[in-house]
Structure 1
Amino acid sequence: MNDKISTFAFKHLLQDDNTRLIHGVLKSLGISPTRNDYQDLYQEGCLLYVEAYEHFFTTHSSEDLEVFGPFAFRLIKWRLLDRIRKEVKHQEHCKPLITIHSDDTTEDSGYPDPFASNFEGEILASAFFQELWDKCTLQEQAYLANRVAGVSITKMAKMLGVSRQAIYKWRDGVIRKAKKIVAR
């Protein structure tokens, strides 16, 4: 990046209280100053402000300054949101490893097996799902499989070459059959 533009970007950030934009982004993301990593996210927001400034003014003139604020707000918000999502996903991924490691060190301490605590619920859910699967038509099974995989109804309709209304009918059939199984 251009050092001259970066210098102007840092000066612009610090003049006229433009740091309020970063505080506004953090507030819009629901991040309060009491959060442990607030200052880290604030500093990251400042660096993203400079990046937004550099990116914006390589393609726009200085007369477009009033358009820069909303542009910077969106860019900072999206990038911080991506960072937060990545951290959450990383923490979720590492959580079972931390639990296993802590159980290995305190094996005789009397702590219950964290994986066994939900064993009964998983068996019941599996039995329910298997019974539901067996009662469903092929189309309803396709709906179930795609929804479990996280596919949206719109994308599912495109993939299967049917209308969204057809997918909704399949969903309603699955719901009716599930209610019958639960009612027994």
Structure 2
Amino acid sequence: MHADRFDNQIAFDLLARPEHQRLLYGALKAAQVTKYHPQFEDCVTVAHLTWLSAYQNYAPELPANLPDFRKFAFRRIKWRTVDYLRKQTLRTQSQVNLEHALPITIDP
């Protein structure tokens, strides 16, 4: 069976299986993101999109190589989440504190 890699519905149907939901949340947990994390919902969204990207970019035939795909998707979700959180941390560190922003003037 050859699946169209760009059929998003097939990818999300595969993700809807309970074992793949556990994989997704396990990858988030491996990235130190639990449901109490302040950016949990954003990370879940990133994880869903990363699953779709992993599905589209996995070269071997599915479903024959499903166990290897699961490993591939787990690693991609984990590291994409870590990268997302790193970028968010850098972004918040480079922002000016609102208390100090008032006296700043911007010359056009």
Instruction: Please indicate, yes or no, whether the TM-score normalized by the shorter chain is above 0.5.
Output: yes
Instruction: Give the Cα separation in 1 of the matches to 2:12 and 2:70.
Output: 15
Structure with the greater alpha carbon radius of gyration: 1
Corresponding residue for residue 29 of structure 2: 27
| C-alpha contact 1:13 1:19 (8 A) present in aligned 2 | yes
2:83 is the alignment partner of 1:100: no
Instruction: Give the Cα separation in 1 of the matches to 2:33 and 2:18.
Output: 23
Corresponding residue for residue 69 of structure 1: 70
Corresponding residue for residue 49 of structure 1: 51
SS of the aligned residue for 2:47 comes to helix
SS of the aligned residue for 1:49 comes to helix
In structure 1, runs of 5+ residues without a counterpart are 106-184
Corresponding residue for residue 134 of structure 1: none
Higher relative contact order (CA 8 A, sep 6+): 2
Residue by residue over 1:144-183, the C-alpha shift from the partner in whole angstroms, topping out at 9 and shown as x without a partner, is xxxxxxxxxxxxxxxxxxxxxxxxxxxxxxxxxxxxxxxx
- Once the two structures are superposed, the pairs formed by residues 1-184 of structure 1 within 5 Å of their partners are 3-4=6-7, 6-56=8-58, 59-62=59-62, 63-94=64-95, 97-98=96-97, 99-101=99-101, 104=103
| C-alpha contact 2:28 2:77 (8 A) present in aligned 1 | no
Corresponding residue for residue 143 of structure 1: none
| C-alpha contact 2:50 2:77 (8 A) present in aligned 1 | yes
Instruction: Give the Cα separation in 2 of the matches to 1:29 and 1:3.
Output: 27
- One-letter amino acid matched to 1:14: A
Instruction: Give the Cα separation in 2 of the matches to 1:61 and 1:3.
Output: 14
State the percentage of identical aligned residues: 25
Q: Which has the larger share of helix?
A: 1
Instruction: Give the Cα separation in 2 of the matches to 1:2 and 1:25.
Output: 22
The count of aligned residue pairs is: 99
Displacement after TM superposition at 1:2 (Å) = 5.2
In structure 2, runs of 5+ residues without a counterpart are none
Displacement after TM superposition at 1:42 (Å) = 0.9
Instruction: Give the Cα separation in 2 of the matches to 1:29 and 1:78.
Output: 7
